[in-house]
Structure 1
Amino acid sequence: MRLSFKTITTCILLGFATASIQAQTYTITDFGAKADKNINNAAAIQKAIDKATIAGGTVLIPAGVFMSGAIQLKSNVTLQLNKNAVLKGIADRTAYPSYPITHKLHSVSGQSGHALIYASRAQQITITGEGKIDGNGEDPVFDTKDNMNTMRPFGLLIESCQNVTISGIRMENSAMWMQRYINCDFLRMTGVTVFNHANINNDGVDIDDCHNVIISDCVIDADDDALCFKSEGDRGVKNVVVTNCILATHASAFKFGTGSTGGFESVQFSNTVIRQSLASNMKHPFKQKSGLTGIDIASVDGGLVRDINIYNISIDSLENPIFMKLGNRMRRTAATPAKKMGAIEGIHFSQISIKNAGPSPVTLTGFPENYITDISFRDIFIEHRGSGTAKDTSLVVPENADQYPGTRVFRRTLPASAFYIRHVKNISFHTVQLGFIGHDERAAFVFDDVEGLEFTGLKYRTLSPVPHIMVLKDSKSAVISFSPLSPGKVQQLNSSGIILNK
């Protein structure tokens, strides 16, 4: 029997309606939970979750502050926090057992973790609503003196799960990272607000070895990295869309790497504002209120980073607006041998607006004989505060290829004011506007060991005369076309195959 399209559509709608009717709601107060600051409601909430997972359903947290230790979310369960509902972590270290991470990780982050909400190998799980998850991470019981990294609970630890949805809620004050997702497929986060400034290592979101990820319409303000992608296993991060967000940090706002074993591929990052944090306190050891780095991309543990498209981004007041590092730290556990060096290739930036840029320029650097390749910048606007002197252009920058990949791996002042590019092949610039609101005597662009440079279209406005706007050192095969810059404003040191067009 052949059914018509109308009949099929009706059946699907009836199926959703039937599912909605059958899916029950389980209110945690019906299982003994109480809005009392002296009661650990973990057991009551877990009973509601265990009941809901049998046939699928919603576990409802009503208005009120409900203290809890660790709970485990299970398949086909929606955890809904109503308006004015707060799920707050209880200040008791024994209330957060060490949960296993079944996905194999190579780095030092470990195969276990502590969390307020944990899920493993679950399907169709959702956390939603107008309420709040508060990790209570500022409580002295979570002091870092005797509770380093893995001993402090995450707000959420979701690993090896499929079809995970986080929407609407507010999350704040974790003792460690606010959210950690490992080896998940089809992760969607939308309309979420994160304000995480209670402790050190207070990342907003960490996504590790996940595929098919959508993050949209979120506001993430974190003391440490705001939105951080890691690959600490062999699976890597693939197929990611991040759009329509506001990110703020005292560290890095949008980040790939530090953990970079499996790599990162096929990422779209767009329509986002990166700004200063609204927090008045700082736990981060560098005490950089405006934030360290806007966009931070690294491969230092053997991973491949490629096919990354970044467009329509506004970056305001970061010390270093964009940082890209290919290195050879090769961080592994003792039982895991190192593999071949990683690579960074096919990274494209367009329509990037950088305001109040700090002393560190946009920095892209590989290491000798290991080049970052196929990079493009198009329609870039930079407003620079200035700070450097003419002699800074001659600074010698150490390689530091085996160190932690962050902007502070080098000195804060680099030879260039706008772009410092080293050990890069095939890089293009099309339409760059650069204006200074403070004095800076450094060259705007320094290209060191660069092969295959194309540069067209530069508008340059400065308060300080500079000996050279552009310096090419040990570079070859460049075509540079812009006016009214004269060839005398380009300095060539041990370079060849340079074509200058007025």
Structure 2
Amino acid sequence: MKHIKQVGIIILLSISASLSYAQITYNILNYGAVKNDTGKLSTNAINKAIMVCNGKGGGRVVIPAGSYRSGTIMMLNNVELYLENGAILYASTDHKDFPKQKRPAYRSQKDAGGWYALIYAESANHISITGKGTIDGQGARQLPRPNPLNGDLDGRPRSILFISCNNVTVEGINMVSSGIWNQHYLNCEDVNVKGIYVFNHSTRNNDGIDIDDCRRFTLSDCVIDSDDDGIVLKSTGSAGCEDITISNCIVSSFCNAIKCGTESTGGFKNITVSNCVIKPSRNKEMPHYGQAMGVSGISLIIVDGGVMNGININNIVIEGTQCPIYVRLGNRARKHIDTAPLPGIGTMKNIQISNINAYNTGNYGSSITAVNGAVIENITLNNIQLNNQGGLEPGTFIESAANVSEAAAGYPQPTVWGNLPGYGLFIRNVKNINLSGIILTSLAPETRTPVIAVNADNIWMSNLKTDRSKQQTELQFSGVTNYRSDVAYQVETLH
């Protein structure tokens, strides 16, 4: 009995200690931060609070309500950076406040010698950024560095950059006006980004979030409105993206709303995207790339080698983008580092896209295409409704499938072609494609064919509906073998 009491006391003391540890906070004002005077820097105070917190085993570093200006903040193990409601962390606009970080062990295409960021971590474990406060990157005032090493990214600071970190949480915060990519997670594992709000329209390259070569990453319940791509999975290094879920998000972009690519070195495996809304941006100013309507809703891209395998896109509403669905196997063949071998053509297979409702879209048409000498394999489109604007005049679209360029090394985006000859689906170099429950309509009359397939093997089609008259061709086929359907659609065989 005495032994049991002693064990009980030890357990209670342990619980008490744990609760006490969890409540430890480090207010940046106690370390010299300057509140509501953004003419003065709080960089040193914030970093000191983080170092003390880390040195004592971890805890919460608090940025209280008020305005603060900072240069690079270095996140360390077991530290939660908490922005109270009403706290605004402004990025400095002075280059000297963002020292170049050393080149990390993990190499990638965007790293030409070091990185610049407002909040930075490399090889850190158990780190968090939480709260209801705001991170303002002051992107419109972030100028490129002279003679930058980072090519088209020119040394402007990311708002968040975590490299090779594990057990990361970013939740609840607001993020606006980044200097370049808003948040970039590179070669990270076990990451949870939840309930954040992003409005990013201050300069070019204003992506919403870049998930790059990460494993076991969940993104959910976010609102992202960006000038450049919205939610982007990239593979700029050799590790690849694997086991990623994206759910319950509202995304707006003047470029591509939800995208895997363009960089694809390490590839993409086991990716699910579900229950998301893609809609026009609320930003009323001219976008920095001059595209008033978003380019694509969903883009799946392999162009720099790599393998895409096991992709599931489900329950997506798309309003007002030029191209609802873009699936592309190309051959840009860009190395991720100079010493890497030249990548060959990658592979894409086992892709399922279902329950898509796209309306008021532009006239580019959706496409599933591979370059000659390659095929996209095992792809299913099920319960897809595409409603485009229609009403194109002759000369404003590509009138023949034979005139749709190969564009093998072109930038992988629907803008390479513009308005395709098939207003619903243009399919080329595909093997084993199942099309079921497809509805294709247009707001104004369409002179183009709903579905065109070129060099395709094993097409299964059922329950296709278009607003064409019975006298008009619904399908155009060229080089198609093993076509099966439950209905005899009007088919024109091209030679």
Give the TM-score, by structure 2 length.
0.92
CA distance in 1, matches of 2:112, 2:328: 24
Please show how residues 349-388 of structure 1 align to structure 2 within 5 Å: 349-388=353-392
**Alpha-carbon shift at residue 329 of structure 1 (Å):** 1.1
Give the gaps of 5 or more residues in structure 2. none
- Aligned partner of 1:405 in structure 2 is 412
Partner of 2:26: 26
SS in 1 for 2:271: strand
- 2:423 corresponding residue in structure 1: 417
Q: Give the 5 Å matches for 1:179-328.
A: 179-285=183-289, 287-328=290-331
Corresponding residue for residue 499 of structure 1: none
> CA–CA distance in 2 between the matches of 1:437 and 1:15?
67
CA distance in 1, matches of 2:351, 2:72: 40
Q: 1:390 to 1:477 in 2, by over 3 A?
A: farther
Total equivalences in the alignment? 480
Shift in Å at residue 492 of structure 1? Answer: 1.3
Distance 2:190 2:429 in 1: 36
Q: Determine helix, strand or coil for the equivalent of 1:247.
A: strand
Q: Could you say which residue in structure 2 is the equivalent of 1:492?
A: 493
Residue 472 (structure 1) shift: 0.6
Q: What is the DSSP-based 3-state SS (H/G/I as helix, E as strand, rest coil) of the residue aligned with 1:53?
A: helix
Task: Give how far 1:474 is off.
Answer: 1.3
Query: For the structure 1 residues 144 and 491, does the alpha-carbon distance in structure 2 shift closer, same or farther, using more than 3 Å as the test?
Result: farther
> Residue deviations 1:348-373, cap 9 Å, x none?
01111011121111111101120011
CA contact (8 A) 1:251 1:284 kept: no
Q: Is the 8 A contact 2:164 2:187 kept in 1?
A: yes
Trace 1:453-472 onto structure 2 (pairs within 5 A): 453-462=459-468, 467-472=472-477
Q: After TM superposition, give the deviation of residue 442 of structure 1 in Å.
A: 0.3
Partner residue in 2 for 1:443: 449
Contact 1:390 1:442 in 2 (8 A): no
The AA in structure 2 aligned to 1:490 is V
In the alignment, is the contact (CA less than 8 A) between 1:451 and 1:475 conserved in 2?
yes
Q: CA RMSD in A?
A: 2.2
Q: How much has 1:403 moved relative to structure 2?
A: 1.9
- Give per-residue Cα distances to partners, 1:150-202, cap 9 Å, x unaligned: 41000001000000000000001011000011010001000000111111000
Amino acid across the alignment from 1:18: A
CA deviations over 1:419-453 (Å, ceiling 9, x no partner): 00111110001111222211211000000111110
Alignment CA distance shift 1:106-1:481 (3 Å): same
Q: Which amino acid aligns with 1:298?
A: I
Structure-1 separation of matches of 2:286 and 2:241 = 30
Cα offset, 1:101, TM superposition: 4.4
- The answer to whether the 8 Å contact 1:27/1:61 transfers is yes
Partner Cα distance (1:200, 1:17) in 2: 50
Deviations 1:382-421 (A, max 9, x none): 1221134578442511101112211112x21111000001
The Cα shift of 1:233 comes to 1.1
Q: Which amino acid aligns with 2:326?
A: F
The separation in 2 between residues aligned to 1:328 and 1:14, in whole angstroms, is 62
Judging changes above 3 Å, is the alpha-carbon distance between structure 1 residues 448 and 329 closer, same or farther for their aligned structure 2 residues? same
**1:434 correspondence with 2:433:** no
SS at match of 1:47: helix
Matched, 1:97 2:99: yes
Residues 61-105 of structure 1, C-alpha deviations (whole Å, 9 max, x = no match): 001010101110110000000010011101211111111342433
The answer as to whether partners of 1:376 and 1:428 remain within 8 angstroms in 2 is yes
The verdict on how the C-alpha distance between 1:324 and 1:105 changes in structure 2, with shifts beyond 3 A counting, is farther
Residue deviations 1:295-346, cap 9 Å, x none?
Answer: 1111111110010000000011000111111111111133211133210101
Contact 2:432 2:459 in 1 (8 A): yes
Equivalent residue number for residue 60 of structure 2: 58
In structure 2, C-alpha distance between the alignment counterparts of 1:397 and 1:109, rounded to whole Å: 35
Q: Using the TM superposition, give the Cα deviation of residue 460 of structure 1 relative to its aligned residue in structure 2, in angstroms.
A: 1.7
**Separation (CA, whole Å) in 2 of partners of 1:468 and 1:217:** 43
Task: Tell me which residue corresponds to 1:497.
Answer: none
- Shift of residue 232 of structure 1? 1.2
Residue 274 of structure 1 contacts residue 294 of structure 1 at CA under 8 Å; is this kept in 2? yes
Q: 1:466 to 1:327 in 2, by over 3 A?
A: farther
Q: CA deviation at 1:465?
A: 8.2
Note closer, same or farther for the CA distance 1:111–1:257 as it changes in structure 2 (3 Å cut): farther
Residues in 2 aligned to 1:406 and 1:14: alpha-carbon distance in whole angstroms:
60
Q: How many Å separate the matches in 1 of 2:267 and 2:358?
A: 27
Tell me, in whole angstroms, the C-alpha distance in 1 between the residues paired with 2:104 and 2:457. Answer: 44
Once residues 358 and 375 of structure 1 are traced to their aligned partners in structure 2, the CA distance between those partners, rounded to angstroms, is 24
Q: Find the aligned partners of 1:342 and 1:470 in 2 and give their Cα distance.
A: 29
Structure 2 contact 450–466 (Cα < 8 Å) conserved: no
Moved more, 338-347 or 425-434: 338-347
The 8 Å contact of residues 286 and 292 in structure 2, kept in 1 or not, is answered as: yes
> What residue ranges of structure 1 are gaps of 5+ in the alignment?
495-502
How far apart, in 2, do the equivalents of 1:430 and 1:271 lie? Answer: 20
> After superposition, where does 1:60-75 map in structure 2 within 5 Å?
60-75=62-77
Query: Kindly tell me: are residues 111 and 256 of structure 1, through their superposed partners in 2, closer, same or farther at Cα, counting changes over 3 Å?
Result: farther
CA contact (8 A) 2:305 2:346 kept: yes
Q: Could you say which residue in structure 2 is the equivalent of 1:171? A: 175
Question: Identity over aligned residues, as a percent?
Answer: 34
> Would you say the 8 A contact 2:145–2:154 is kept in 1?
no
Confirm or deny: 8 A CA contact 1:103 1:182 kept in the other structure: no
Indicate how the Cα distance of structure 1 residues 20 and 101 shifts in structure 2: closer, same or farther if over 3 A, else same. farther
Shift of 1:284: 3.0
**Aligned AA (2:262):** T
Instruction: Answer whether contact 1:442 1:466 (CA < 8 A) is retained.
Output: no
What CA deviation, in whole Å up to 9, does each residue of 1:29-70 have, x standing for no partner?
000101211111100100000000111011000010101011
Following the alignment from structure 2 to structure 1, what is the Cα–Cα distance between the partners of residues 102 and 391?
A: 49
